[in-house]
Amino acid sequence: MRVTFNNVFAIFTRGGGLEVTYDVHGNVMQEHIEGEWVVHEDEQGQDWVLLFEDTDTAHKVLIDYINATKDEDVEVKRTLATSLADDQNIRLYRWDGTWEDIKRSDYMSRLAD
């Protein structure tokens, strides 16, 4: 099984992403901002949050989403996979062009250190 990453990219229709701040020691602090994820609904009606390892793939899917929905008020933003709720599953688009549907619990157990 391939490892997964906490720092990934997602497509948001409203809000979302990370707020990056620095503490008094210069350490980077990342806080997830609530937003609306773009999801894929499978044949059984289950939603899969779209996450991406790279921005190139994310932007290709973003263009496909805009062309299909005519909704141009969307953007790719960096986010944390750990910010997903326990009942949200993941469709992970890999940098090499492959993708995989992963249950959230499995995704978290495969996080790279």
Distance, CA of 67 to CA of 19 (rounded, Å): 29
Residue 104 to residues 42, 53, 82, 90, 111: CA-CA distances in angstroms? 16, 16, 9, 6, 11
Distance, CA of 37 to CA of 39 (rounded, Å): 6
Domain assignment of residue 14, yes or no:
yes
- Residue 22, class by beta-carbon neighbours within 10 Å (0-12 exposed, 13-18 middle, 19+ buried)? exposed
Q: How many domains does the chain have?
A: 1
Domain assignment of residue 38, yes or no:
yes
Domain assignment of residue 44, yes or no:
yes
Q: What is the pLDDT along the chain (113 residues), one digit of tens a residue?
A: 899 999 999 999 988 888 888 888 888 888 888 889 999 988 888 889 999 999 999 999 999 999 999 998 999 999 999 999 998 999 999 999 999 999 999 999 999 86
Domain assignment of residue 2, yes or no:
no
CB atoms within 10 A of CB 18: 16
Give me the domain span that covers residue 98. 7-109
pTM value is: 0.87
Position 18 scores a pLDDT of 85
Domain assignment of residue 50, yes or no:
yes
Position 84 scores a pLDDT of 92
Domain assignment of residue 1, yes or no:
no
Position 79 scores a pLDDT of 94
